[in-house]
Amino acid sequence: MGKGKLYPRITAVLVVVGLVFASMAGAYVIHGIKPGKPGGPPTKPKKGNKTTKKGATALGDKIAGFTGSELAKIGKFTITVKFPSGGVVSAKITSAGKTLASGTSSKASKGNKKLTVTFNKAGKKFLNSTNGQSIQLTIHFSFNPNKGKTQTSTTTVRLDR
């Protein structure tokens, strides 16, 4: 086989392999569930800065696709937050005006730190009592810098039935 025929075949194989990896990476959105729908990804965060939008989205991605009883059983979720400067980040998950989970983390200077959000007893009871209903959760994610104004982003996730 000459070199003229080998390169197009290698290119074709690389394209196919690339398409397979691309479809796997985007499968979460490609399979047809729109943001904010049951079992789908969170909605796009409203307001806030880069830190709060990324944090709200990361937390929403962590809990998306679970049912209420599965969330209650797991009990807590941890995400890594990139602090742009020293300060405090906090997250609160609510539904129907009730706080179901919360968490706070602080750092003296910029860098990465973990934030754990834990469902409280009333939150677990609420999640277990949903009887297969689709529940909308609202995630409030705030960053209060040591110097400057507090920023907050809000996103919603609809739990799978």
pLDDT digits 0-9 by tens, 114-149:
999 999 999 999 988 877 777 889 999 999 999 889
Q: Strand, coil or helix: what is 136?
A: strand
| CATH code of the domain occupying 35-158 | 2.60.40.4070
pLDDT digits 0-9 by tens, 42-64:
888 888 888 899 999 999 988 88
pLDDT digits 0-9 by tens, 62-111:
888 788 888 889 999 999 999 999 999 999 999 988 999 999 999 989 99
pTM, full prediction: 0.75
Q: Which residue has the higher pLDDT, 104 or 40?
A: 104
Three-state secondary structure string covering 28-68: HHHCCCCCCCCCCCCCCCECCCHHHHHHHHHHHHHHCCCCH
